Amino acid sequence: MSGYDLISVEPISAALGAVIRGVNCGSELSQAVIDEVRAAWLQYLVVFFPDQSVTPEQQLAFSRRFGQPVEYPMIQGLEGTPEVVAVVKLPHEKQNFGGIWHSDTTYLQSPPIGALLLARELPPVGGDTLFANMYMAYETLSVGLKQVLSGLRVVQSSAKAGAARSRVDRIKSTSVPEPEVLEAEHAVVRVHPETGRKALFVNYGHSVRFQGMTEEESEPLLSYLFRHQTRPEFTCRFRWTPGCMAMWDNRCTQHNPVNDYHGHKRVMHRISINGPGE
């Protein structure tokens, strides 16, 4: 793809997503390569690095080139690298972790700017992940609805039913006690600090109501936005291969891991990153 001198960038859909080749994420990469990767990340919102053979320590070191790794608030990380969380679905389990449309941990006052997810063990078929472009979700709204949303804030909760159910098996499998309910309020329309573009910042996983309104009053508009923001033309679907690593921009995307591989094991290693000073 034109515009990149040190890496190869291959878009996978019109809406978002690109595969980056020519980058060994476990090596000491030059700042020039990192700068091009970051540019591609901001341009395509989610990027994929195939055929990576990296340790948790190397994955963590790579993540530090783009932000500050942080521990996940609900799940205990790996011993020695607590910022690296094993996202596992075992053959007997029916729920998968995060198996609904959502942006990560928007119930925090400062949600992560992004995340890295590495495929360690995959089912023979299935287990793809869907991603959606929240710039497009906002930009395709009517002028009138944009005006309505411009002054609204949304309450985000860790206890919303669908998201809470998707964490049950992983919380049971660790020694971490049942987490407290976390809530935060954010603007419904957020301006991306690096691109300056506006993105819709509600999501089915965590958004419960608008500030100053009841859940019943908020439900009709929130339900419309949830349906709108995952229209097929705003999305891409990625089929994982062992050793592939994704990096998505949590400020302007949503994702949904497809739960279609019952009876098989799937193991991923994920890291959340915050921006400098967050």
The whole-angstrom separation of Cα 154 and Cα 145 is 15
| CB distance 89 to 248 below 8 Å | no
Q: Which of 102, 206, 266, 269 is catalytic?
A: 102
**Could you confirm whether 260 is annotated as catalytic?**
no
* Structural contact between residues 120 and 267, judged by C-beta atoms closer than 8 angstroms: yes
Distance between the two ends of the chain, CA-based, in angstroms? 33
102 has catalytic annotation? yes
Among 104, 170, 249, 251, the one annotated catalytic: 104
Which DSSP string corresponds to 205-223? TTEEEETTS-HHHHHHHHH
CA dihedral of 27, 32, 36, 42, whole degrees rounded to 10: 100
Catalytic residue among 170, 206, 266, 270: 270
Give the strand pairing for 46-49 and 18-21: parallel
169 is catalytic: no
Q: Counting beta carbons within 10 angstroms of the beta carbon of residue 4, is it exposed (0 to 12), middle (13 to 18) or buried (19 or more)? A: middle
Q: Is 249 designated active site?
A: no
- Residue in 206, 255, 266, 269 annotated catalytic: 255
- The C-alpha atoms of residue 82 and residue 195 are separated, in whole angstroms, by 31
Burial class (CB in 10 A: 0-12, 13-18, 19+), 80: exposed
* 3-class DSSP assignment, residue 52: coil
CB count in 10 Å sphere of residue 129: 21
DSSP code of residue 232: G
Structure tokens at 56: 């948790």
The rounded Cα 121 to chain-centroid distance in angstroms is 19
Q: Which residues are catalytic?
A: 102, 104, 255, 270
